[in-house]
């Protein structure tokens, strides 16, 4: 069994969907570590050959895994190589659908992604918003947010916000509760006024202690007693203001993001894949 494996997500579009599909399969092998990389917009034979050369050089003949979503058969065939293990995620599916539907597929790269330019514009806008409203910035603009993540430090607010924006096209702000808010037992008015779009991220004190200890070992910030106190204070604030909560212990960013949207009742139609 391999202890570690190089993995590449190669696509004629953004490679976001390729990565999602590949990771959904790889997560079934938790005992193996994966070094992964996206290679997007491979749309010609020359670009495919260049990508293949890079993969071979970086992986040094250790049979890397290549997840591939390339429509053009000629371009895709470049990766039919004995030195790599290629998994064609579209292979056979479109052919079967064509037979079932009795119709010809477009086979156009990234058609779903760019068939509605307004969706792409929304995603770019969401990414900018989430970056500009990270870690408590510009709370006066929270009325524009679709999601506001609140919690003590190191509960996963920023990575979830980024995922919500980049993969779901949602404007997500996040706010870290510090001792100023916790000790005073108050939330900023901008959060209270928009609490119907707020979600509190919580975590067990032991898990939070472990995370903080890795980053700031033996600090007061990382002490189990500090973590326990902060979490209790935060949970009391959430309860007082009727803010829904999710525990982030051991959950992936993808799982947390979906749970947040479900908790707030955000329709899947809003965040269709890009």
Q: What ranges do the domains of the chain cover?
A: 4-114, 117-264
> Half-sphere exposure of 252 toward its Cβ, with a 13 Å CA cutoff?
8
Residue bearing tokens 């590949």? 22
Rounded to an integer, the average pLDDT of 243-272 is: 84
pLDDT of 101: 75
CB 198: neighbour CB atoms within 10 A?
25
pLDDT of 235: 97
Which residue pairs, CB below 8 angstroms and at least 24 apart, start in 220-228? 221/153, 227/152
pLDDT of 267: 65
The percentage of the chain sitting over the pLDDT mark of 90, rounded to a whole number, equals 64
- What distance in Å separates the CA atoms of residue 69 and residue 94, rounded to the nearest whole number? 11
pLDDT tens per residue, range 139-149: 999 999 999 99
Q: Which fold has domain 4-114?
A: Rossmann fold (3.40.50)
- What distance in Å separates the CA atoms of residue 260 and residue 142, rounded to the nearest whole number? 17
Confidence of residue 89 (pLDDT cuts 50, 70, 90): confident
pLDDT of 191: 97
Phi and psi at 7, nearest 5°, equal -130, 135
**Average model confidence (pLDDT) for the chain?**
88
CATH class of 117-264: alpha beta
Common-topology check for domains 4-114 and 117-264: yes
Calculate the CA 242 to chain-centre distance: 27
């Amino acid at each position: 069994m391999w202890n570690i494996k190089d993995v590449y997500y190669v696509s004629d579009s953004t490679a976001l969907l390729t990565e999602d599909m590949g990771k959904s399969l790889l997560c079934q092998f938790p005992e193996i570590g994966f070094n992964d990389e996206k290679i997007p917009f491979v749309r010609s034979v020359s670009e495919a050959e260049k990508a293949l050369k890079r993969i071979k050089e970086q992986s040094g003949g250790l049979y890397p895994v290549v997840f591939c979503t390339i429509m053009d058969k000629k371009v895709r065939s470049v990766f039919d190589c004995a030195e790599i293990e290629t998994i064609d995620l579209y292979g056979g599916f479109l052919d079967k659908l064509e037979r079932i539907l009795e119709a010809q597929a477009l086979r156009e790269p990234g058609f779903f992604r760019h068939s509605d330019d307004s969706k792409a514009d929304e995603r770019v806008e969401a990414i900018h918003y989430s970056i500009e409203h990270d870690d408590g910035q510009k709370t006066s603009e929270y009325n524009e947010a679709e999601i506001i993540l609140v919690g003590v430090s190191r509960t996963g607010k920023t990575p979830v916000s980024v995922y919500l924006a980049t993969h779901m096209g949602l404007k997500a702000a996040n706010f870290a509760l510090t001792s100023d808010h916790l000790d005073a037992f108050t939330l900023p008015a901008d959060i209270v006024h928009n609490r119907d779009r707020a979600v509190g991220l919580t975590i067990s004190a032991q898990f939070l202690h472990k995370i903080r200890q890795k980053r700031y070992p033996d600090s007061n910030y990382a002490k189990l007693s500090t973590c326990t106190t902060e979490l209790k204070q935060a949970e009391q604030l959430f309860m007082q203001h009727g803010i829904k909560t999710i525990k982030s212990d051991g959950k992936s960013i993808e799982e947390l993001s979906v749970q947040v949207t479900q908790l707030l009742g955000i329709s899947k139609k809003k965040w269709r894949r890009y």
